[in-house]
Structure 1
Amino acid sequence: MIRHRTSAAAAFAGAVTFLLAGSTLLAAAPAYAHGAPTDPVSRVAACGLASEGLAGTPACRAAVAANGGQPLGSWDNLRVAGVNGRDRQVIPDGKLCSGGIAAYAGLDLSRSDWPATKLAPGAPFTLTYRSSIPHEGTFSLYLTRQGYSPDAPLTWDDLAPEPFLTVKDPALRNGAYRIPARLPEGRTGRHVLYTVWRNTSTPDTYYSCSDVVLPGGSTDRAEAATTPPARAAVPPPPKAPTKAPERAPKPAAASPSASPSAAPSSPSPAPASAAAESANTAPVADTGSPLTPTTAALAGAAALAVAALGTVLLRRRRTATAGRPHRRHRR
């Protein structure tokens, strides 16, 4: 019994010692920050972050195929330790988007159909860099030179020697760094916004490629110059001119049925309807005249009635007179 208690006490003391040692190791280990740009969307976020809904695009599928069919590394973990500002020496040309990490090699594919964000050259925008743990560090933003071709591997020479914006220790709010910036002028077409985040509280440097489209290139100007004249030269729809001639012959076809007196008096293109209107309104216009055809007809009918009555009375008088005895006239 005593032996069992001694063994149990020893085991408990060992467990406590292990936990204390483990907590000391965890406290000493650095908390690594993770993240990537989501606006303008980076290639790693587009292909690895489900909320972006871009993993099924042809470019992202090709990136997975380039990885031997294996999924890309975690969208927020594209980082290289121990660079110490020697980016151009550590990250080789053609592997800027992957940071030279094999798990992200598909992001270096030379394609012109990567998911892209449309921006305006020389205009302000906000870089949204999603992250989970706040850390100190410096963000440096680069933009490819004019003449960059997405069909060729991205090299350091495609970028300007110096970043167009550098921001130190921005605040992490609502799970993202939001960095106001303004794009350089003199860029048109498809470009790559290259973001380098050099941590100072960790030994890591994060790299990301965000594809952007800047309108106003030579192709856009050519389309703007040729499209308006082409649209102006298009003739009007054929229906408009064909309907007008169809309406014009209708009055001419209906004019023979109208009376000669009604046609010149009415300005309407339909003489038959004008004549009917004239016939309907004529009695109203002649009501005040004592010599209207209606009055003359009534007067003639009355005269005939009076004459007929006189004839009847005359006949009755003659009949009555013929029935009486003839009286001789006394002298």
Structure 2
Amino acid sequence: MNSLRTVLRIFVIAIAAVLALPLLPAGVAFGHGSAIGPPSRHYGCWDRWGSDFQNPDMATEDPMCWQAWQSDTNAMWNWNGLYRESVDGDHQAVIPDGQLCSGGRTGGGRYAALDEPGPWEAAPVNNQFTFRTHDQARHGADYYRLYVTRQGFDPLTDELGWGDLQLVADTGVIPPGEGTPENDPVLNGVTVSINVNAPGRTGRHIVYMIWQASHFDQTFYSCSDVVFPG
């Protein structure tokens, strides 16, 4: 009898502990991060329309975000979760041409709409600029690698492939927690700033980020649309 009471007591304590855990809203990812300046496609769509994502004006004012929201709203709610595991540094083998912005259609194809060419909202930058990426969970990095599309690539009509990119920055190791703290409660992590030099570019381009997080073999990817002078 005593043993039965002991088992029942343990069971009640276990149930109470589970009920005491905080509940997360459906579709909300644990904090990881993404590019915020120039913003990644998914972060930018969430930042501009997250509080007004059912507004029909998005269809004409921001048509690429509109098609992305219609395709899968969770891609924007989970703007900080576009990553793959177990890539082991072999990015080109894992991610096919035409699927770079979605990380090879990671998340069961959740981010597929990000691969669509078209008039994504683009941030004006100079040929030398600072790229800002947010490490929401303070993972640190084995490296950030930044690429810019070669002159002649047209983001309005061309699918992005590995042959379209030129490496412009490679940070090497960044320790966990290093960066500028953000007071914005939505971000609430650290922002890493990376100097970029992309000479010879004019007009529309894509900045492609590969962020190899240092805590696990998790690799984050993003496309940021920019406009160079000229």
> Normalising to structure 2: TM-score of the pair?
0.75
SS at match of 2:159: coil
Q: Choose between structure 1 and 2: higher strand proportion.
A: 2
Answer whether contact 1:54 1:115 (CA < 8 A) is retained. no
Unaligned runs of 5+ in 2: 18-29, 183-188
Given the alignment of the two structures, is residue 210 of structure 1 paired with residue 224 of structure 2, yes or no? yes
Match of 2:112 in 1: 105
Match of 2:42 in 1: 44
Given the alignment of the two structures, is residue 195 of structure 1 paired with residue 209 of structure 2, yes or no? yes
Code of the aligned partner of 2:165: L
Code of the aligned partner of 1:78: L
Q: How far is 1:33 from its partner?
A: 5.4
Q: How far is 1:203 from its partner?
A: 1.6
Match of 1:153 in 2: 159
**Residues 183/54 of structure 1: CA separation in 2 closer, same or farther (3 Å cut):** farther
SS at match of 1:206: strand
SS at match of 1:164: strand
Match of 1:144 in 2: 149
Q: Which has the larger radius of gyration?
A: 1
Match of 2:24 in 1: none
SS at match of 2:192: strand
**Residues 54/202 of structure 1: CA separation in 2 closer, same or farther (3 Å cut):** farther
**Residues 85/6 of structure 1: CA separation in 2 closer, same or farther (3 Å cut):** closer
Answer whether contact 1:46 1:54 (CA < 8 A) is retained. no
Match of 1:61 in 2: 66
Q: How far is 1:15 from its partner?
A: 5.7
Instruction: Summarize deviations over 1:113-135 as a string: whole Å, max 9, x none.
Output: 211110111x232x221232111
Match of 1:178 in 2: 192
Match of 2:4 in 1: 7
Instruction: Summarize deviations over 1:188-210 as a string: whole Å, max 9, x none.
Output: 11000001001221121000000
Answer whether contact 1:143 1:164 (CA < 8 A) is retained. yes
Correspondence 1:1-331 to 2 at 5 A: 3=1, 6-14=3-11, 34-49=32-47, 56=58, 57-65=62-70, 67=71, 70-73=72-75, 74-101=78-105, 102-111=109-118, 113-121=119-127, 123-125=128-130, 127-137=131-141, 138-150=143-155, 151-160=157-166, 163-167=167-171, 168-169=173-174, 171-172=178-179, 173-174=181-182, 175-216=189-230
SS at match of 2:114: helix
**Residues 83/198 of structure 1: CA separation in 2 closer, same or farther (3 Å cut):** same
Q: CA RMSD for the aligned pairs?
A: 2.5
Q: Partners in 1 of 2:215 and 2:114 — Cα distance?
A: 27
Answer whether contact 1:46 1:52 (CA < 8 A) is retained. no
Q: Partners in 1 of 2:206 and 2:227 — Cα distance?
A: 9
Q: How far is 1:54 from its partner?
A: 9.1
Does 1 or 2 have the higher relative contact order (CA < 8 Å, sep 6+)?
Answer: 2
Q: Partners in 1 of 2:33 and 2:52 — Cα distance?
A: 17
Match of 1:276 in 2: none
Answer whether contact 1:91 1:100 (CA < 8 A) is retained. yes
Q: Partners in 2 of 1:52 and 1:211 — Cα distance?
A: 19
**Residues 199/19 of structure 1: CA separation in 2 closer, same or farther (3 Å cut):** farther
Code of the aligned partner of 1:77: G
SS at match of 2:43: helix
Q: Partners in 2 of 1:195 and 1:54 — Cα distance?
A: 27
Q: Which moved more, 1:171-180 or 1:76-85?
A: 171-180
**Residues 180/99 of structure 1: CA separation in 2 closer, same or farther (3 Å cut):** closer
Q: How far is 1:50 from its partner?
A: 5.4
**Residues 142/119 of structure 1: CA separation in 2 closer, same or farther (3 Å cut):** same
SS at match of 2:67: helix
Q: Partners in 2 of 1:203 and 1:19 — Cα distance?
A: 34
